[in-house]
Amino acid sequence: MPKTVFLTALIAFAVSVLFCPFYIALQRRRQFGQQVRADGPSRHLKKAGTPTAGGVVFLAAATVALLLRGNFSPRLWMALLLALGSALIGWLDDYAKMAHGRSLGLKARSKIAGQALLTVLFTGLLYLSGNYNPVVELPFAGTALDLGWLYPFFIFLIILSTTNAVNLTDGIDGLATGAAIISLLAFLYIALESGLVDLALFCGALVGGCFGFLIYNLHPARIFMGDVGSLGLGGALAAAAILAKAELSLVVIGGLYVIEALSVILQVLSFQLTGRRIFLMAPLHHHFELKGWSEWQVVTAFWALAFIFALIGLLEWRPW
C-alpha cells in the first residue's frame, strides 16, 4: 500500500510542477496579483502584484492524481468535498480581493455561512456512509468522550478553526505550504496505521501536489497559494482528522497553526483591554520578521516547530 500512495504522490508532484508555470503566466495575463496589507512589514510591499490563488495548482494536481488512480470510496469523496468546498470559499475570497483591489475579501459572515453549509453536507455524508462516530478520543488522557448530538457542532468548530488557522499561517513565502506538507505526512501515517488506504491516498496526493507547488512558492515566491490554497489545505486537514478519528490529535499535530491563531487572538484582546500590543505584529511570524529575522530564518524555524508538533502528535496517537 505505501507504494500505491507513493505513486499517487509522484503523479500529483509531476502535474503540479508541470502545470504551475502555465498557471503563473495565466495569472500574470489576467493581472490576478497579490494585494499586500498596508500595515504589514515594509519589505512585503515589493510582493504586491505577485500571482496568487496558486492553491488551484496543488489542489488540481492532487485531484488529477486521485482520478488517475481510480477506486473512489465514500471516505475519499467526503475528504475531497471538504477540501475542495473550502477551497471554493477561498477562491471567492481571492476573487473579491482582486475585484475590489484591496487585501480584504469576503465578509466573515459569508465565509462562516459557507463553512456551515459544508459542515451540514459533510456530516450528512458521514452519517449516510456509516462513518458517523460521535466518540472523540482525548489526547494524553487515555480516554474518550461521547459528544452525542453535539458532534456536528464539534465538526463545524474543527472546520472553522483549522481553515482560519492555516489561512493565518500563510503570510511568508513557503511557510504554510511546507507546514501543511509536514501535517499531511503525519495524517498519512495515521491513515496507513489505521488501515484507511483511501485517506492515505488523499493525504499523499496533496503532499505531492504541495511539494511541486513549493518549488515556485519558496522565497522569493513566484506565486502565492492565496485563500483558495490555505482554506483548501485547512479543509483537507480537518477532513483527515475527522475521518481518521483523530480530531483532537489535530490540535497537537497542527500546533503551529494553533500558535499562529492564538497570537492573533491575544494581540486583539490585549489591545482592546489595555491599549497595548503583545507582539510587534500578528500573526506571530510577522513579529519575528520585525525583530530582524530574514524570511528564510522564520520559515525554517517554523517548519522545525511544525515537525516537532507532528512528532509529538504521532507519539501520543493510538489507533482505534
Please give the biggest Cα pair distance in the chain.
56
> Is residue 41 pLDDT above 70, yes or no?
no
Section 230-246 average pLDDT: 97
Retrieve residue 249's grid coordinates.
490529535
Which residues are bridge partners to 135 per DSSP?
A: 146
The reported pLDDT for the residue numbered 95 is 85
> Is residue 103 pLDDT above 60, yes or no?
no
The pTM assigned to this predicted structure is 0.94
Section 148-175 average pLDDT: 95
| Residue that the C-alpha cell 508555470 belongs to | 21
Asked whether the beta carbons of 248 and 153 are under 8 A apart, the reply is: no
Q: What is the pLDDT of residues 208-226, one digit of tens each?
A: 999 999 999 998 999 999 9
The reported pLDDT for the residue numbered 36 is 58
For 275: left if phi > 0, alpha if psi spans -120 to 50, otherwise beta; the answer is left
Q: How far is CA 158 from the centre of its chain?
A: 12
Whole-number Å distance between alpha carbons of 31 and 161: 31
CA distances in angstroms from 241 to 36, 91, 127, listed in the order given? 32, 23, 16
Ranges 23-27, 83-87, 118-122, 150-154: which has the least confidence: 23-27
Number of helices (H), then strands (E), belonging to the chain: the values are 12, 2
Helix ranges restricted to H, 31-54: none
Retrieve residue 52's grid coordinates.
496568487
Whole-number Å distance between alpha carbons of 298 and 320: 37
> Is residue 33 pLDDT above 70, yes or no?
no
Retrieve residue 111's grid coordinates.
465565509
Quick one: angle between helices 197-217 and 226-243, nearest 10? 160
Domain boundaries, the chain: 2-247
Give, for 295, the enclosing helix (H) or strand (E).
helix 295-316
Written as one string, the DSSP assignment of 168-195 is HH--STTHHHHHHHHHHHHHHHHHHHTT
